[in-house]
Amino acid sequence: MHLFPENLAVEISTYYRNLALGHEVIPKVFTLVNGEGDQYLFFIDDLPIEKEEEKNQFLTYIVQEYDAVCYARGTLVIVEKNQQFIEFAVIERDDSDAIICSAELTRDMDDKPIGLGEFEKTLVKKGTIIFGGLFETIQLSEDKIEDFHSLWVEMKSKILHRSMGL
């Protein structure tokens, strides 16, 4: 595991803690970091795409188009009403392992987040993660590539972009 995935895991943990406890929202998050240290982060639900398969194609396009070295995807997992977790995975291009992070979310009687446990990190094989294959090359039509490029340009105003530095 290299520096970017480890740093990204710490950063996404803090990001989710702030969103859940400070803003009472737990969005589906996607972020990537490229070789120059540029990071892009956005909410998956902001994508104007209905089908999950097409969302994954778009994310694959972005990972490949921006030459990502690692990416992370996170969400709320509801086991039961009183058992909820925020989970995310960090996947690195050149590593067969990935980092899975999970923390239990506690809500009050009004269903507002009031507590978030510590994120526990676990190393797993990249191939065991449902969305762990975004580095795998896919063939897209020229029209689809143009649509995805236009969508990315349209979303730029909603995307957090910063440099993680080298």
Q: Which helix (H) or strand (E) holds 76?
A: strand 68-80
Task: Give the model confidence (pLDDT) of 110-150 as tens digits.
Answer: 999 999 999 999 999 999 998 899 999 999 999 999 999 99
For residues 14 and 31, is the Cβ–Cβ distance under 8 A? no
More confident position, 114 or 1: 114
Task: Give the model confidence (pLDDT) of 62-71 as tens digits.
Answer: 999 989 999 9
pLDDT at 58: 97
Q: Which domain holds residue 101?
A: 3-163
State the greatest distance between any 2 C-alpha atoms of the chain, in Å, as a whole number.
Answer: 51
pLDDT at 165: 62
pTM of the model: 0.91
Q: Which residues of 108-117 are buried (b: 16+ CB within 10 A; e: fewer)?
A: eeeeebeebe
Q: What is the mean pLDDT of residues 85-103?
A: 96
Checking if the pLDDT of 48 tops 80, the result is yes
Q: How far apart are CA 41 and CA 74, in angstroms?
A: 11
Q: How far apart are CA 86 and CA 101, in angstroms?
A: 8
- The count of C-alpha atoms lying within 13 angstroms of the C-alpha of 38, restricted to the half-sphere facing its C-beta, is 9
SS3 content of the chain, % helix, strand, coil (to 5): 35, 35, 30
Q: How far apart are CA 14 and CA 18, in angstroms?
A: 6
- Count the domains in the chain: 1
DSSP SS3 for 106:
strand
